[in-house]
Structure formats: C-alpha cells, structure tokens
Structure 1
Amino acid sequence: METRPVAVVGYDGAELLDIACVTTTFGMANVIGGLRRPYRIIVVSPGGLPITCGPGVVLHSAQALERLTEPLDTVIVSGGIGHAGAAANPLLVAHVRRLARLSRRVASVCTGATILAATGLLDGRRATTHWRFADALAAQYPGVTVDPDPIYIRDGEISTAAGVTSALDLALAFVEEDHGIELARLLARDLVTYLQRPGNQAQMSLFTAAPPPDHATVRGVVDHINAALDGDLSTTSLARVAGVSPRHLTRLFLTNLGQTPGRYVRDVRTAAAAHLLLTTALPLPGVAARCGLGSAETLRAAFLRRYGIAPSRYRAIHEG
C-alpha cells in the first residue's frame, strides 16, 4: 500500500506534546478516514537514541535521523527545552536540511522554528514560534521575519506553528489540505478540541481577557469601552470620559497598553464580534451593529486585518 511518510524529528529535551499532537492527529486520520494512502509516522532522533521529553518521560524513536533516506511527504521538527542545543548541533541541523530536500512540505512546532532557522530554510520567509521565544529568534536570525501573533504560518512549502498545542491546529490543516474539510472537522471533534482554528488567529485566545491595566485612568476607560461597544468610542469621546485631553489619553494608552485608544477599541470590537459569530445566529450586519463596527463591510475589513480570515468563513468552519 502506498503511504504518506511523515518524519517527526525529536531530540534530547523535545516536548512530548509537540510530538504527540502531530502523531495522534495523523494516526487518527488513518483510522477515521479509512485512507487509501495512509500516513506512515516515523519518529526519528539523532542516532536513534531515546528522546528524554521531561521528568519521567522517555520516548523511543523509530529510526535514526541519519539513516532516514527515503522520499518523505512531510517532515516536522519538534520544539522543546532542548531546542537551543539541537540548533547548535551541526550534524542534526545538516540532517534536517537534508530531510527537507526529500520532503514535499516542511514544518516546525513551537521552538522547533529555531532549528529550522539554523538550517537556513527560513531565511527570507515569514515564520512564527512560541510568543515567549519570538524576540530571541528574531535577534538570532535576522534573515527571518518573525511574527509572534499567529498560531501558525504557511510560507510556501514551509510552515511554522506557535506554542505546543498549535501543533494540533497545523496537523489538522495538513489533513484538510490532503483529504478535505470534512475529515478535518471529524478529527477536531474526536480529538475534543474546542475548534479548528484558522492559522492567523492570535496565539492568545480570543476569549482570554487581558489583565486590567494598573493605571486607574486607563482602567476606567477600558471598563467604559467594554460596557459600551456600540457607543461613541472615539478618542475624543473617551478623553472626555477620562477627564484628560485626547493627546494625553493616547500617551497613557501607549504607555500602559502599547497601542492607541483607536487601535484598542478596534481590537476589542473585533474580538467581541468573533465571540458573537460563534455563539449566536446573528447575521453579519447584526454582529457589526452590536459591536459598534457599523456595517458588515467594516466588520469584514477589521476581521481580515486582525485574524486574517473573513467573518463568514470563520463562522462556517466552526459550525456544527
């Protein structure tokens, strides 16, 4: 039987969840989909040595990284606390680069992007990694355009996923690419994942509230914004609520929230719209009106800017 060989690269200090999210998704696709060309998962490591994934967890690899020479459908590099050491290992890096040449597509999970960057495969490309390590990756590899926001990025044949469980999102996206949306949806349900998230969704959950700002004036304005999304939230109006000038309010927001009042309002309204799309049957104009975005077209523009997907498409892929 013809198969799709998928090589998952581990090493000492690789994260078990990075590996398991991938292997479980592809393995379940074989079972649920009854695939004529099933995925054949090959966990490899330098020298074929066991992969110490954490306290009390040791994973046996199926094959030595160095001995894998067959053509591959996909190669996926895991992240983990050992990623820096792996990226500094010239033999491991060379073999990952070699496997990439044998593969139709290449991916990394979490800090596995550091290893891909060390191969040079990310030079001139846009990539993501776990938000906590994004600045370090950008500083160490200036040829890579690091975007810490999306849960995964696909740039040509190379994909990079953000922290840990985003491996699940990327693997589901690969299954959708290979076998269609219906199988990907079935997998998402069987894996009991809350939703199959589009790649450009922010790493921070849409529904996880940011901690309230320490500054009392800014906190009061933020509370007002959240309570009156469909009201007048112009900077001038918000400045009146705060009892300060628009210019001073802008300075306070930049200092405490890292963005202008206008940008903050737009992001909050867009996040609220995303929540309504998933939890109500309101038509798009109704969602836009309730969140203060005015029209369906304004909602669409804000959604594309923030999440990289149209609101109608976002709702469709999460239905059922």
Structure 2
Amino acid sequence: MPSTARQVVILGYPDAELLDIACVSDVFDAATRLGAARPYEVRLATVDGLPFACQSGLTLAPHVRIDQVRGPLDTFVVAGGLGHYAAAKDERLLAHVRRLSQLSKRTASVCTGATVLAAAGLLSGRRATTHWAHAARLAEQYPSVTVDPVPLFVRHGDVYTSAGVTSGLDLTLAFVEEDHGPTLAREAARSLVTYLQRPGNQAQVSMFLAGPPPEHRQVRDLTAYVAEHLADDLGAHTLAKQAGISTRQLTRLFDAHLGTTPGKYVRTVRAEHAARLLSGTDLPLTAIARRCGFGSTETLRQAFLDHFDTPPSAYRRVHLRSAHA
C-alpha cells in the first residue's frame, strides 16, 4: 500500500514574499516528483481563505482557510515578507500559528516569518535567525529570543528558522534530507538547478552574497579571480600583482569594499567551496583540500572549524549516516 503523504501547510498573508512560499513548495514538489517514498502534500493557507497579493504584486490563491486545517501535520511553515509586522499583530492568525505548531512534527519560518513565530511565543527561550537586515529589530522586540543573524538556518528543538528568502530553499532541502536521505535532496537540488544544499551554519551573508558585486572594478575583478583560481597561490602579493597595485593598497581596498582582509576573504571562500564539495561529492579530503587551495587536510580542517564550527570529517559523516538511515 502507498505511504501516507506528508502533510505540509504554508501560512501566507498580504504582502508575503512570494519566494518564501515558492522555495518551500517547489523543493517539496521536486522531491515528490523524484519519487519520495512518502510524497509531500503541500497546501497554502490564509486566515480568511481568500486570494492575497504578495509584496511583488502577484496574487496567490490559497488552498484552505487556516481554521479548516486539522492535524497531524508533518511541517508547518510561516512565510516572511513586508506584511510580517501586520501578521504579527493579528491575534486570530497568531492563535492558529500556536495551534498548528502543536499539531505539527516541525514548525518553521522563512525570513521575517520568524517575527510571526516570535509574536506567537514559539521562539521564547530559543535560538533563532531571520533575514540579517531584520535581526536587530527582532532581537530588540523579543528579548527572550536569542537571535543569531549569521546562519542560513537554525534548528532549536522542533522549531526551525531560516534567513532571508532563498535560504528557505536550503532549509527545505535539509528537510528532504532529514526525511529521505541526502541522495534525494541532491537530486531535488539538481532538478531546481541550484547549489547542493548549503549547511545551515554557513553564513547567510557569504563572501559571494554579502551585497552587490563591489562597485570598485579592481576589487570586483579580484573576487572573480579568487573564485576561479582557488587551487592557486592567492597570497596578498599574488593578488596585488594581479591587480597591478601594492599589497598595502590591496589591503585598503578589501577593507573598504569587503570589510575584511585579503587573507580572510580567500580563506572563507575556500572554506565555503569545501563545504559544497563535502556535501555534494565523494572526493576524499585530500582532493578537496587540494582543489580548494589548502596546503593539507589539517589546514582544511582548521579553516572549516573556524568557519562552520565543525570538522569536515564529522560533517561528511552526518551525510553518510543520513544516507544509510
């Protein structure tokens, strides 16, 4: 007999971020189409059951009114968006958020949906994250919440919070991996033509996405050069020579436009690339160290510990354990 579908409910509201909803629904849909042993049945719910305009201006029609949702649920997700402040003041909405969280195996938010969870009291005493631009306000408004603006997503017990917008994709891929193992999660990522899921403790504002590409032409060219030559010598002298400037000027430019030193920037980019290779390939650590420009596996280990707070071998073992669970 076929397995019972995993019930997923996404809560939307006026001025929600469309991508917060679509990243979640499309990952679960991809996993289902790719043969998940227990497929996902995703429904979009609103308080009144009526179509609503997202912050982009596009209109979505929900499947169900939230008071019609009954448990048990596998996953309950609250979207973020410009309307999250109004949603966090809607007592009827908050009452249903609390109710559905109790009926769900796991509760999650994408981006500023964390504000709604916090207003419902679901983040009190927990560590959580949200979009980096809203983290300070969340921490100020809800002092009982330990807000960490760095990670892509955070799990504290059965409550998950994720950072801005597309981090919802990373979180949902992590759910698929948790439910079905890393092979299906990787296949879902490939079908969506996205990076293999990034680890949750990866910085949400990575060296690649800390803002728009640097306006300064030399810095922009150097960051592209670093990404394309990770296995090569990327010392300050080499980068300065590549740009035709002094090492002192190189340091000044990186500090002014990237907020870090050339050495720290290179090390972080290498660590992030190593994380992707660890989660998406079977390459031995020696090969990953070589491809990422680390002189040895021990240097890779130290950089990985500094950036992700876990050794590369342990990170890979988690994935292998999930694959055979």
TM-score range, shorter chain: 0.7 to 0.9
1:27 aligns with 2:29: yes
Aligned to 1:100: 101
Equivalent position of 2:157 in the other structure: 156
1:17 aligns with 2:15: no
Specify the alignment match of 2:267 in structure 1.
Answer: 269
Answer yes or no: is 1:73 the counterpart of 2:71.
Answer: no
Report the TM-score when normalising by structure 1: 0.77
CA contact (8 A) 1:230 1:292 kept: no
| 8 A contact 1:231–1:292 mirrored in 2 | no
Q: Tell me the equivalent position of 2:173.
A: 172
List gaps (5 residues or longer) in structure 2: 227-231, 238-245, 320-325
Inter-CA distance 208–280: structure 2 relative to 1 (3 Å threshold)? farther
Deviates more, 1:115-124 or 1:280-289: 280-289
Q: Does 1:3 align with 2:5?
A: yes
More deviation, 298-307/177-186: 298-307
Return structure 1 stretches of 4+ with deviation > 4 angstroms: 208-214, 226-232, 240-243, 252-259, 276-295, 312-317
Change (3 A) 1:7 1:164: same
Distance 1:174 1:283, change over 3 A: closer
Q: Which amino acid aligns with 2:201?
A: N
Q: Over aligned residues, Cα RMSD in angstroms?
A: 3.7
Could you say which structure has the larger radius of gyration?
Answer: 1
Give the match for residue 43 of structure 1: 44
Distance 1:314 1:165, change over 3 A: farther
Q: 1:241 to 1:19 in 2, by over 3 A?
A: closer
Give the aligned residue type for 1:269: R
Q: Work out whether residues 267 and 306 of structure 1, in 8 Å CA contact, stay in contact via their aligned partners in 2.
A: no
Measured after TM superposition, the shift of residue 207 of structure 1 is 3.3
Q: Could you list the per-position Cα deviations for residues 34-75 of structure 1 after superposition, in whole angstroms to 9, with x for gaps in the alignment?
A: 53x322212110121212113541111111112223221110
Give 2:202's aligned residue: 201
* Counterpart-to-counterpart distance in 2, 1:230 and 1:257: 17
CA-to-partner distance for each residue in 1:107-154, whole Å, 9 max, x for gaps?
Answer: 000000000011111111111111111111111111111111111111
1:167 aligned counterpart, secondary structure: helix
Shift of 1:190: 0.7
The CA deviation string for residues 222-251 of structure 1, in whole angstroms up to 9 with x for no partner, is 99xx7964579xxxxxxx9649xxxxx9xx
What SS does the corresponding residue of 2:75 show, helix, strand or coil? strand
Taking structure 2 as the reference length, what is the TM-score of the superposition?
0.76
Aligned to 1:82: 83
Distance of 1:58 and 1:291 partners within structure 2: 44
| SS of equivalent to 1:47 | coil
8 Å contact kept, 1:269–1:291: no
